A and B are shown apart, each in its own frame.
Chain A
Amino acid sequence: MSGRKPIRWHIAVFLAPAVLVYTAIMIVPLFGTLNLSLFNQTPERTSEFVGLANFRTLFGDPRWSGAFWNALGNNAWFFVVHMLVQNPIGILLAALLSSPRLRMAAFYRTAIFIPTILSFVIVGFVWKLILSPIWGIAPGMLDVVGLKSLFAPWLGKEDYALTALALVSVWQFVGIPMMLIYAALLSIPDEVLEAAEMDGITGMSQFWKIKLPLILPSVGIISILTFVGNFNAFDLIYVAQGALAGPDFSTDILGTFLYRTFFGFQLQLGDPHMGATIATAMFGIILIGVCIYLFGIQTRLRRYQF
């Protein structure tokens, strides 16, 4: 087959720019980072191959492993809050928005998506101001409903800071699951819903019995996007609490831990090799999560074709 056909150069021309930029800027540095984690700096400022010694330090040395497990645990909680709050709210909003003949749907859609377009810098500072006991918007509003005693400087308390920041992040990103689920709900053909109505399945039970099973693949996609996004998060914590992720590292997640290790902070010197080791560990965690999703969950989801 290929013997007689001339080489189709245009295919190469079409593919080359994307493949080259992607390989040079993304794939090569990614593997460079993985590689860097296998080396260490000698006192003579040359690097030497140390195998997996950096990983032994990260998981075994109490000074490193304590910080690592703390960051990983916080990150896991950050993810749990998103899965329990952000995605259900997103699905609920999408379900309401997609109900037929709803007035002002375009307005709601546009308004609810607005926080998602704002930068972390804005979101972080805005919420810091609102939750600040100095300005008093949050305590003032709680006072109106008679709950002033519930107010605490949430971002300053070790017990609450991480959950408060996770909820701020939920506030910011709820628009993404909402939009994706909304699109999935709109793509359910009317015949299916009409058939359900003929059988007397309407309202809530229609959602649970007909629509939800049909949109499960999209729910799977938003779950994995949430996972990748959360285990890669950095900006919000950095803006709201600084690189030290205070109070007392209670909001430290893998992204801030990587940043601090790589660049150093205050008295701690930057260490590119340990930074690369942490990045590699994060790479492994994300890869495991994605694999669990691809092979464990996605293959079991049933897809329906219309």
Chain B
Amino acid sequence: MAQARISAGRSIAAHAVLITYTLIALFPVFVILINSFKSRKAIFAEPLALPTRETFDLIGYTTVLKQGDFFGYFQNSMIVTVASLFFVLLFGAMAAFALSEYRFRGNLLTGLYLALGIMIPIRLGTVATLELMVASGLVNTLMALILVYTAQGLPLAVFILSEFMKQVSDDLKNAGRVDGLSEYTIFFRLVLPLVRPAMATVAVFTMIPIWNDLWFPLILAPAESVKTITLGSQVFIGQFVTNWNAVLAALSLAILPVLVLYLIFSRQLIRGITAGAVK
């Protein structure tokens, strides 16, 4: 009896702490979202109230959509993120396969060389990266961003994926070899489908920093036609500091796409993290 009461009390305490922190985590996002649908007067009079019929107003959204090329920014961000993700996953998986499957001279050294990038941020090379991009004429192109993000994502991808590929059964691969499959077919047809959960984890971890990055778009591609949504909303919000409706609407528009993507992938993310990447 006493035991049960203690554990019930403990579970209530646990829920209390978790609910408190959940509120802290969600409150700012919630405040921004509800106020973006209110009229200017209501934003200041009752900042914490939900929009009612009298206070409901879409003026912020109409201003934002009229002024900035939000659709274009969004498209740029999509292209950069999807293309970088594709190259990180493809090149990362290929290198991880080579490192985990074959024994050859320099295997350990190559692994360490690639892992170096996990510890040393690519940003510190920015000065020379910019010179390189200027020399190759890639400044203000989406290609520059895709190249940089691919290089940035590869170290962690190779590290995580090679851990997972070591778990793929040797018998299966050897059976494929006996059947006369080439090493390339074994990789693409047998191994890749089996490490799909790990690929999803790597995808989420690679995607978030790319989508949210401000540093490289600001330095390598600040032109209007190649602005990403993160840089676009930063510049845009800066122009509207005093127009609270527009600022709140712009913030909401920037939050929603990531939020939706996250909610779609979150299940896979948890499964991938808890499946052994950290063990």
Interfacial residues, chain A to chain B (CB-CB below 8 A):
8, 10-11, 13-15, 17-19, 21-22, 24-33, 35-36, 89, 92-93, 96-97, 99, 102-104, 106-122, 125-127, 129-130, 135-137, 140, 171, 174, 179-180, 182-184, 186-187, 203, 218, 221, 224, 228, 232, 234-235, 238-239, 255, 262-263, 272, 275-276, 279-280, 282-283, 286-287, 290
Among the 9-residue stretches B54-62, B64-72, B122-130, B167-175, the one with 4 or more Cβ atoms under 8 Å from chain A is B122-130
Interface string of B133-163 (1 = CB under 8 A from A): 0000000000000011011101100100000
In the complex, what residues of B have CB within 8 A of residue A272's CB?
A: 127, 131
Check B211 for interface membership: any CB of A closer than 8 A: yes
What is the bound-complex CA distance between A125 and B247, given in angstroms?
Answer: 9
What is the bound-complex CA distance between A136 and B17, given in angstroms?
Answer: 26
Cβ of B72 to closest chain A Cβ, rounded Å? 17
Q: Are B127 and A126 within 8 A (Cβ)?
A: no
Q: Among the interface residues B28, B110, B113, B258, which one has the most CB atoms of the partner chain A within 10 A?
A: B28
Return 17 A-B CB contacts under 8 Å, by A number: A10-B184, A18-B91, A21-B154, A28-B132, A33-B124, A36-B128, A93-B17, A99-B11, A102-B15, A108-B21, A114-B29, A118-B29, A121-B254, A137-B48, A171-B28, A187-B274, A263-B219
Q: Are B247 and A11 within 8 A (Cβ)?
A: no
Check B98 for interface membership: any CB of A closer than 8 A: yes
In chain B, residues 65-90, which have Cβ atoms closer than 8 Å to a Cβ of chain A? Answer: 87, 90
Partner of B214, one of A25, A35, A239: A239
Q: Are A21 and B91 within 8 A (Cβ)?
A: yes
Q: Quick one: closest A residue to B24, CB to CB?
A: A171
Cβ of B130 to closest chain A Cβ, rounded Å? 8
Q: Among the interface residues A19, A107, A113, A187, which one has the most CB atoms of the partner chain B within 10 A?
A: A19
Q: Are B266 and A130 within 8 A (Cβ)?
A: no
What is the bound-complex CA distance between A89 and B266, given in angstroms?
Answer: 21
What is the bound-complex CA distance between A28 and B98, given in angstroms?
Answer: 23
Check B279 for interface membership: any CB of A closer than 8 A: yes
Q: Are B234 and A121 within 8 A (Cβ)?
A: yes
Q: Quick one: closest B residue to A236, CB to CB?
A: B214
Check B223 for interface membership: any CB of A closer than 8 A: no
Check B119 for interface membership: any CB of A closer than 8 A: yes
Cβ of B236 to closest chain A Cβ, rounded Å? 10
Q: Quick one: closest A residue to B95, CB to CB?
A: A18
Q: Quick one: closest A residue to B13, CB to CB?
A: A96
Given A102-B11, A239-B234, does the pair A183, B277 have CB atoms closer than 8 Å?
A: yes
Partner of A125, one of B99, B154, B237: B237
Interfacial residues, chain B to chain A (CB-CB below 8 A):
6, 10-11, 14-15, 17-18, 21-22, 24-26, 28-29, 31-32, 43-44, 47-48, 87, 90-92, 94-95, 97-99, 102, 104, 110, 113-114, 116-117, 119-129, 131-132, 147-148, 150-152, 154-155, 158, 182-184, 187, 208, 211-215, 219, 230, 233-234, 237, 244, 247-248, 251, 254-255, 258-259, 262-263, 266, 270, 273-274, 276-279
Q: Quick one: closest A residue to B99, CB to CB?
A: A15
In the complex, what residues of A have CB within 8 A of residue B277's CB?
A: 183
In the complex, what residues of A have CB within 8 A of residue B10's CB?
A: 203
Q: Quick one: closest B residue to A283, CB to CB?
A: B124
Q: Are B95 and A25 within 8 A (Cβ)?
A: no
Q: Quick one: closest A residue to B14, CB to CB?
A: A96
In the complex, what residues of A have CB within 8 A of residue B120's CB?
A: 30, 228, 283, 286-287, 290
In the complex, what residues of A have CB within 8 A of residue B90's CB?
A: 17
Q: Are B47 and A15 within 8 A (Cβ)?
A: no
Q: Are A18 and B158 within 8 A (Cβ)?
A: yes
What is the bound-complex CA distance between A217 and B219, given in angstroms?
Answer: 37
Q: Quick one: closest B residue to A294, CB to CB?
A: B119
Q: Are A25 and B270 within 8 A (Cβ)?
A: no
Q: Are A22 and B151 within 8 A (Cβ)?
A: yes
Q: Quick one: closest B residue to A107, CB to CB?
A: B22
In the complex, what residues of A have CB within 8 A of residue B104's CB?
A: 8, 11
Given A127-B28, A136-B47, does the pair A28, B128 have CB atoms closer than 8 Å?
A: yes
Q: Quick one: closest A residue to B3, CB to CB?
A: A202
Q: Are A121 and B147 within 8 A (Cβ)?
A: no
In the complex, what residues of A have CB within 8 A of residue B219's CB?
A: 263
In the complex, what residues of B have CB within 8 A of residue A92's CB?
A: 17
Cβ of A243 to closest chain B Cβ, rounded Å? 10
Q: Are A126 and B28 within 8 A (Cβ)?
A: yes
Given A117-B258, A121-B237, A203-B10, does the pair A22, B154 have CB atoms closer than 8 Å?
A: yes
In the complex, what residues of B have CB within 8 A of residue A30's CB?
A: 120, 122, 124-125, 128
Q: Are A36 and B214 within 8 A (Cβ)?
A: no
In the complex, what residues of A have CB within 8 A of residue B44's CB?
A: 135-136
Q: Are A15 and B98 within 8 A (Cβ)?
A: yes
Given A22-B151, A239-B234, does the pair A14, B97 have CB atoms closer than 8 Å?
A: yes
Given A22-B155, A25-B148, does the pair A117, B262 have CB atoms closer than 8 Å?
A: yes
Q: Are B47 and A125 within 8 A (Cβ)?
A: no
Q: Are A11 and B98 within 8 A (Cβ)?
A: yes
Q: Are A97 and B18 within 8 A (Cβ)?
A: yes
What is the bound-complex CA distance between A24 and B262, given in angstroms?
Answer: 32
